[in-house]
Every structure is written in structure tokens, then in C-alpha cells.
Structure 1
Amino acid sequence: MSWIKVVAYEDADPQLKRIYDRVKGPNNNVDNVLSIHSLRPHSLVGHMTLYKNVLHNSNNELPKWYLEAIGVYVSHLNQCDYCVLHHFEGLRKLLNDDEKSNSFMEAVKVDDLNSFLGEQFLAGMAYSKKLTLEHHGIVQEDIAHLKSTGFSDGQILEINQVASYFNYVNRTVLGLGVNTTGDILGLSPNESADPNNWSHK
């Protein structure tokens, strides 16, 4: 499951169990990407607070499927199969179209999203790629280009935060050897109007 010790749900002390109870899915299942924090429960709280508000908050303006698509793309660029698998399942549920979902994944694998996305959303993906692989090269003109395609400053912030979050979580997963053993793919805290609802369904 990982390269460091992880405390299972049934072995958790009362403090950790209270947090696990907020994030668990069916049959007390806690995703490995979350239980990896079990030796430092406060970092699990921090992770979930960031994740819920960046990706699953009703105040976001960009479509949730697009934010998930950014996550899949960034995770693929980082060669983080764990996050690709989880968030592709989330994207597939949001699109509710297996053919379209599979076409997107094939486009990601060859890094050619032109057939799947329009100019504006392609620009957001290009920015996410640069932020992931060439972050030191980001310049004001990159932001100006996003604006020229029609993104507002707030929407640009959404793209930035989703891409940045996935770079963080990809490095957590890859750096600690987290795998999908025992996970239920595609669960997420979908109660977007309530930032305190972390339940994975």
C-alpha cells in the first residue's frame, strides 16, 4: 500500500478515527492517498480542506468535469498512475459518456487534446502543463493569453489551484509509494455546496 506505516481504520485512535469518519467511503474504506497521512492527522485535515475547496466547491465557475480533466492531465504528465486512475473514474462519471471519456484518455496519452477541447480549454491545459513541467518559465504573458481566450481572473485562479493541487498530491503519492490496493476508484466528496462534508461516495 505504501512505503511508510499507515494506521488502518480499525486501529485508529479516537482523534484519527473522527477524521477517518469524515472521509471514509463504503465499509469504512479510506482511500490510500488519505490514510497515508495517518501518522500526522493534522496534515490529512489540511489535505482534505485544500482538495475539497479546490476541486469540489460550488463557488467554482469552471465545469467540474474540466477541473477533473486538468487533474487527470497533470497526473499523467507526472506519471502518477494512482491519481490518473482515481480521477479518470471521477471524470467518466461526470461526463456520463464512456466513449467520450475514453477518447479523452487516449488524447491525454499522446498529449494531443486538440480533438477533444476547444481553444479556451486547450489554453488552460497548456498553462497547466507549463506549470507542471516548466513552472520556472511561467511569465505574465501566459496569464494574458488565458485572459485573451475568455477566462476571468477568478477562473485562471481555479486552473492554477487545481494544477497546483495535483502537483502536490502526485508528489505525495509517488514520494511515499502509495498504490491503489484496497481503494474504491472514483469516490469523491461530491456535496459541493458544503465545504465541511468530506464523505467519499
Structure 2
Amino acid sequence: MSWIKLISYKESTGKLRRLYDKVTGPNHNVDNIMMVHGLRPHTMVGHMSLYKNVLHNSNNTLPKWYLEVLGVYVSMLNHCEYCIEHHYSGLKRLLKDDNRSEEIRKGLQNRMFLNILNDKFVQGLIYAEKLTLEASNIKEKEVVALRELGLTDGEILEINQVVSYFNYANRTVLGLGVSTKGDILGLSPNDSSDETNWNHQ
């Protein structure tokens, strides 16, 4: 499940048990990406706070399913199967349309999004790719292109933060050999109005 020691829910005590209780899914399941923080619980606090606010906050105005699309695409670019499978499952749950979800996945795999998403969402994926693979080459024109297609500056910030978060999460997973073994795919914090509610359902 990881190349470093994981502390299971049953083994956890004190602060770590309290944090696990905040992020558990059914039957006290804790995703491996969270369990990998067990030796330094304070890093889990930072990770979950960032994740919850970037991807699951009611103040976001872009559709949550699109934020998941960005996450899946960034994870594909980084070859992070863990995050691909988790967030593709989340995307399917949000869209409630398996055919549409599969169409999007194939489009992302082939980098052919023009026929599956509208222009501003396609431009968001182009920005995501450049920010992931060539961050030092990003220019103002990339942001201007997003704005010209109707995205507000706040929505551009949402895209930037989701892309940045997934690059962080991918590197956490890939750098520590985190697998999906034992995880329940597709769970996420559902109460977007409460940034302190991290419970996964």
C-alpha cells in the first residue's frame, strides 16, 4: 500500500485517531493517500484542508465534475494511476452518466477534448497541461485566453489551484509508492458548505 510505514485506523491513537475519524469513509476506511501522512499527522491537516477547499468548497463556481476532470487529466499527464482511478470514480458519481464519463476519459487519454467539452473547459485543460508539464513557460496570454472564453478571474484561480493541488497529490502518491489496495474508490467530502467537514462518503 506504500513504501513507508502506514498506521492503520486500528493502530492509531491520540491526534492521529482524531484526524482519521475526520476523514473516514464506511467501516472506518481511510484512503491510503491520507494514511501515508500517519507518521506526521500535521501534514495530513495541510493536505486535507487544501484538498477540501480547492475541490469541495461551495464558494467555487465551476462545476465540481469539471474540477474532477481537471484532476483526472493532470493525473494522466503525471501517470498517477492512484489519482486517476479515485477521481475518475468521483467524476462518474457526479455525472451519473457512465457513457458520458467514459467519453470524457477516452478524450483525455487521447488528448482530444474538442468534441467532448465546451471551448472554455477545453482551454482550461490546455492550461492545465502546460502548467503541469511546462510551468516555467506559462505566459499571461494563457490566462487571457481563458478570460476571453468567459471564465472569470476567480474561476481561473479555481483551475490553477486544482491543477496545482493534483500535481502535489500525484507527487505524494508516486514518490511514496501509494497504491489503491484496500481503498474504496470515488468517495469524497460531500458537505461543501463546511470546510472543516472532511468525512468521506
Instruction: State the TM-score, normalized to the length of structure 1.
Output: 0.99
1:139 aligns with 2:143: no
Task: Give the structure 2 partner of residue 13 of structure 1.
Answer: 13
Give the whole-Å Cα distance in 2 for the aligned partners of 1:82 and 1:111: 20
Comparing 50-59 with 139-148, greater Cα deviation is found at: 139-148
Residue 61 of structure 1 corresponds to 61
Report SS of the residue matched to 2:10: helix
Offset of residue 37 of structure 1: 0.3
Percentage of pairs with the same residue? 57
Shift of 1:111: 1.2
3-state SS in 1 of match to 2:74: helix
Q: Give secondary structure in 2 for the equivalent of 1:9.
A: coil
Alignment of 1:177-192 (within 5 A): 177-192=177-192
Q: Give the structure 1 partner of residue 162 of structure 2.
A: 162
How far residue 14 of structure 1 moved from its aligned partner, in angstroms, is 1.3
State the shift of 1:125 in Å.
0.7
Query: In the TM superposition, what whole-angstrom CA distance separates every residue of 1:79-106 from its partner, at most 9, and x where no partner exists?
Result: 0000000000000011100000011111
One-letter amino acid of the structure 2 residue matched with residue 144 of structure 1: V
Letter aligned with residue 37 of structure 2: H
* Cα offset, 1:108, TM superposition: 1.1
Query: Structure 2: how far apart are the matches of 1:53 and 1:69?
Result: 17
Cα RMSD (Å): 0.5
User: What is aligned with 2:70?
Assistant: 70
Which residue does the alignment assign to 2:81?
81
CA distance in 1, matches of 2:140, 2:107: 28
Runs of 4+ in 1 over 6 A off after TM superposition: none
List per-residue Cα deviations over 1:110-142 (Å, max 9, x = no partner): 111111111111001100010001101001111
Q: Distance in 2 between matches of 1:14 and 1:191?
A: 25
The count of aligned residue pairs is 201
Distance 1:99 1:143 in 2: 32
Unmatched 5+ stretches in structure 1: none
The 2-side partners of 1:51 and 1:15 are apart by: 20
- Give the letter aligned to residue 173 of structure 2: V
Q: CA separation in 2, counterparts of 1:112 and 1:167? A: 21
Instruction: Please name the residue that 2:107 is paired with.
Output: 107
Distance 1:168 1:114 in 2: 27
